[in-house]
Chains A and B, each alone.
Chain A
Amino acid sequence: MTVTYVPPTAVLDVLRLLTEGPQPGVVLNSPPGAGKSTAVTYMAHHLARHGDQVRVVAQTNSQVDDLVAKIAAVDPGITVGRYTAYGYPVPATLAASNILIANRFPDLRQAAIVVATAAKWLDPVITERGPWAIIDEAYQMRSDTLLRLASTFERAAFVGDPGQLDPFSVVNVDRWTGLAWSPLQSAVAAMLANNPDIPERQLPRSWRLAPHTAIPVSDAFYPFAPFESAPEQGAREMWMPTRSLGNSPADRAIEHAAANGWAFYELPRRHTVRTDAEAVAAVVALAVRVLERGTMLRDERHPDGARVTADRVAIGVAHRDQMAAIKTGLAETAYPNIRVDTANRLQGSEYDIVIVLHPLSGRRDATAFHLESGRLCVLTSRHRHACIVVARDGIPDLLDAHPSADPVPFNTQPRFPNGWEANQALLEHLIAHRIRAL
């Protein structure tokens, strides 16, 4: 893993624009697995050389912990501050001697780089303004948070994945619709609406998604800013060391996914409740089967091959009740700890194999929630090796009957692609990998 990082032009551009450009901000868009945290790490070190403390903002504590570990590992001579809430249990991974952990900001004065969640940066608000900030997962941050945070830096790089889910609020009012500073948008959307001249750059290659995976994801969710799979990552391989007894559809789906990166495991057409018992059972069975069969993989991280372990498998769903039903199902298997989560919470994570319960499976009508492109994008772009999508037959008809286009209020920009288009495009791709469950 100690390969010298060669920053892509986009990262160098962003640094130049941030330090010398006419605008106080710059956006670095990062498609799934495009090396976002590596870029953030590089940028933090680069800016630290200017002599002033660099502030890094992430959205969740686990994002912060991951970044701190990564940034600290680059250069033991650079002190990295982990600014925490009082009483936060810092994980053991942050034991390096150049990591300084404190819950009071003045105690971090000697750190060259300080990392904290947005919430921590705001509690209490740091009154002295720093010259640089790098805001990670900036599309997950809400505009009102940025409004408060902006007093803590002179210039900032906003890094994040524009294809993921927008931030959320329990209130739904339209009094701010059309305002450039509407607090209900993402931080990046608000900043760009107020500063249309802010430059944007994009990381061009995904290190997570292999070529056969990157293309459909790029086509469906990033058609206007396509990306490709990084060729340097070399070949990916996944295989089953044992032949399956019999030839069950589940085994065929797993084998197909191992060979092709995708499988679309289709159950018979039926309208169901959200917690469709057959679909839940199929998801559980697939996850268990992948592990039971001792699935092996080989990639740049494991050049000699490695067995897929339960912590490298995840199950993604749209609704919390589906999550609960699947967890209940898994509890009775040998692998009760496989991660099951909703799209919102899977954002930013990465696994070797991801099994997805398609949001439209068994539905009668496609609602805006089910069609949201960010949701499907998150679910189908978490995997390094294979993604198995489980769904009831009938989704093409469902989409066909709902060619919807969300209204665009005055003074706002529509989302491209919209949810319908993205769903349709991905489905066309998946149909080619269909394995029928019966």
Chain B
Amino acid sequence: MKELTARLDALRGDTEPQSLDARAISSIVGNPGCGRRNLLDAAGIDKDELARAIRHPMYAKPSRMVLARGAQFEAQVKASGGAQLLTLLREDIGLSIPEAEHEDLKTIGGNEGKLARYRNTVQRLTAVARSAQDGGTLFDHPYLKITVAGYDVFLEPDLVAVKSGGKFYIVEVKSFSVIDGQAPAAAVEGAELQAAVYVYALRELLRSHGFDEDLVADEAIFVCPQNFINKPFAARVNVRNQVAAVRRMLMRMHDLDTILSNLPAGLTFALRGPAGSRSAEELKAGLRLVPARYAPSCLDTCEMARFCRSEEQGSTAVLGRQVREELALDTIGEVVGLARGTRLPGPDQVEQAELLRRAQQYRDELLGSLM
């Protein structure tokens, strides 16, 4: 593990590793087979900076107005010792929570170093875990830790952990709104994967202190604004499948040896070298050595996506997974060549060539002059 860490450090250079948040971790689940992304994330490389340096920047940045609005809703729900939240958990979700207090684990006496905060969270949560009774405390902002490719990654989720009926539940306040019981599918998908990262991290915390990981419920609770008003709405969702997916993905992140063993020893993605800033070309040449697995959905989730797309121009991957599946060939040149009959099919391509020629024949016959 030490060796791995050293190599990853060298890839990153002198900067502090970029810490992954649950959002980043959960978005890896969308394309976990991508070695390029796994390696850059495992090494804690700032992909946003790197994408800028190679002149393929990601445009979308979070809107401050969105963040502000989210923070405002969260503050409202958690105000007065979590009064609204508690009512929701008791009445809408049906958790039995005895007289409750709200404890913010974000602030501990003077010392706010990462490890101190983590230890404090561990201490408070394990004490409740040990107790036979449900602690009447809403633990806000627990500090959690997971191991990604040998690194300790600290997570500072905006969530509340509460024990009820002998189980810990993770409660997340989200800012997407629910209308007549329905929430936007993409927002729900993202929220569930993030919650799964937290469930996993909380389980790791308890497991590493000798507790049964079943102590953390499979169900996550989301609190959202509903129906154009700020009256909060709570939903309980079973994220067991997501937790399993996150676990498998993290296991995969540990397995970077194959990728690393194919990379030259001195390779680095540090933006600055001894001779000043590295050129975009040099960085790109390095990136090309790391195999990627581009899919159009990367454009929404990965800072490197525009670079990968430009690299894949000419590959059927840029057309999307379904189209690629239908075309069943790697490159657009092969598709077009086989369809037009200007290229001879390889032994593996005979059937597909026949289908493509037939499709091309229909296009020629039927669209003719319109093409």
Q: Are the chains A and B members of one assembly?
A: yes
A404 touches B245 (CB 8 A): yes
B249 touches A403 (CB 8 A): yes
Q: List 26 A-B contacts (CB under 8 A).
A: A271-B330, A272-B348, A272-B352, A273-B351, A273-B352, A275-B351, A277-B350, A277-B351, A365-B324, A367-B321, A402-B32, A403-B244, A403-B252, A404-B29, A404-B245, A405-B29, A405-B196, A405-B241, A406-B241, A408-B241, A408-B242, A409-B182, A410-B178, A410-B237, A416-B241, A420-B245
A303 part of interface (Cβ distance < 8 Å): no
A16 part of interface (Cβ distance < 8 Å): no
Chain B contact-residue range equals: 35 or more
B293 part of interface (Cβ distance < 8 Å): yes
Cβ contacts B149-176/A at 8 Å (1 or 0 each)? 0000000000000000000000000000
- How far apart sit A52 and B295, CA to CA, in the bound complex (Å)? 61
A414 part of interface (Cβ distance < 8 Å): yes
Distance from B220 Cβ to chain A, minimum over Cβ atoms (Å): 10
B241 touches A178 (CB 8 A): no
B181 touches A178 (CB 8 A): yes
B48 part of interface (Cβ distance < 8 Å): no
Distance from A270 Cβ to chain B, minimum over Cβ atoms (Å): 6
A174 touches B185 (CB 8 A): yes
Distance from A408 Cβ to chain B, minimum over Cβ atoms (Å): 5
B183 touches A410 (CB 8 A): yes
B245 touches A270 (CB 8 A): no
Given the contacts A270-B348, A401-B293, A421-B244, A407 and B185 also touching, CB distance less than 8 Å: yes
Cβ contacts A309-331/B at 8 Å (1 or 0 each)? 00000000000000000000000
Q: Which residues of B in the span 195-252 have a Cβ within 8 Å of any Cβ on A?
A: 196, 222, 235, 237-242, 244-245, 248-249, 252
Q: Which residues of A in the span 139-174 have a Cβ within 8 Å of any Cβ on B?
A: 174
Partner of B328, one of A271, A400, A402: A271
B325 part of interface (Cβ distance < 8 Å): yes
Which chain A residues border B193 with CB–CB below 8 Å? 405
A177 part of interface (Cβ distance < 8 Å): yes
Given the contacts A365-B321, A403-B29, A411-B235, A421 and B351 also touching, CB distance less than 8 Å: no
Question: Which of B29, B185, B241, B248 neighbours the largest number of chain A CB atoms within 10 Å of its CB?
Answer: B241
Given the contacts A270-B348, A402-B32, A408 and B192 also touching, CB distance less than 8 Å: yes
A410 touches B350 (CB 8 A): no
Cβ contacts A265-306/B at 8 Å (1 or 0 each)? 000001111111100000000000000000000000000000
- How far apart sit A14 and B280, CA to CA, in the bound complex (Å)? 71
A-side binding surface: helix, strand, loop or mixed? loop
A177 touches B182 (CB 8 A): yes
Distance from A366 Cβ to chain B, minimum over Cβ atoms (Å): 9
Distance from A272 Cβ to chain B, minimum over Cβ atoms (Å): 6
A49 part of interface (Cβ distance < 8 Å): no
- How far apart sit A403 and B355, CA to CA, in the bound complex (Å)? 32
Distance from A194 Cβ to chain B, minimum over Cβ atoms (Å): 15
Question: Which of B248, B295, B321 neighbours the largest number of chain A CB atoms within 10 Å of its CB?
Answer: B248
Which chain B residues border A402 with CB–CB below 8 Å? 32-33
A434 part of interface (Cβ distance < 8 Å): no
Given the contacts A404-B245, A409-B185, A367 and B235 also touching, CB distance less than 8 Å: no
B241 touches A410 (CB 8 A): no
Which chain A residues border B244 with CB–CB below 8 Å? 403, 405, 421
Query: Looking across the interface, which residue of chain B has its beta carbon closest to that of A274?
Result: B328
- How far apart sit A274 and B325, CA to CA, in the bound complex (Å)? 9
B189 part of interface (Cβ distance < 8 Å): yes
Cβ contacts A415-427/B at 8 Å (1 or 0 each)? 0101011000000
- How far apart sit A273 and B352, CA to CA, in the bound complex (Å)? 6
Query: Looking across the interface, which residue of chain A has its beta carbon closest to that of B186?
Result: A407
Query: Looking across the interface, which residue of chain A has its beta carbon closest to that of B181?
Result: A178
Query: Looking across the interface, which residue of chain B has its beta carbon closest to that of A419?
Result: B241
A400 touches B185 (CB 8 A): no
A129 part of interface (Cβ distance < 8 Å): no
Which chain B residues border A178 with CB–CB below 8 Å? 181-182
- How far apart sit A273 and B322, CA to CA, in the bound complex (Å)? 12
Q: Which residues of A in the span 58-108 have a Cβ within 8 Å of any Cβ on B?
A: none
Apart from A273-B351, A402-B32, A410-B181, list 18 A-B contacts with CB within 8 A. A270-B348, A363-B325, A365-B321, A365-B325, A400-B33, A401-B33, A403-B29, A403-B244, A404-B29, A405-B29, A407-B189, A408-B188, A408-B237, A408-B241, A408-B242, A410-B237, A416-B241, A421-B244
Query: Looking across the interface, which residue of chain A has its beta carbon closest to that of B320?
Result: A365
B348 touches A414 (CB 8 A): no
Distance from B191 Cβ to chain A, minimum over Cβ atoms (Å): 9
Which chain A residues border B355 with CB–CB below 8 Å? 273
Distance from A268 Cβ to chain B, minimum over Cβ atoms (Å): 10
A242 part of interface (Cβ distance < 8 Å): no
Given the contacts A363-B325, A400-B33, A401-B33, A411 and B181 also touching, CB distance less than 8 Å: yes
Query: Looking across the interface, which residue of chain A has its beta carbon closest to that of B241?
Result: A405
A109 part of interface (Cβ distance < 8 Å): no
Query: Looking across the interface, which residue of chain B has its beta carbon closest to that of A421?
Result: B244
Cβ contacts A170-213/B at 8 Å (1 or 0 each)? 00001001110000000000000000000000000000000000
B328 touches A272 (CB 8 A): yes
B245 touches A408 (CB 8 A): no
Distance from A2 Cβ to chain B, minimum over Cβ atoms (Å): 46
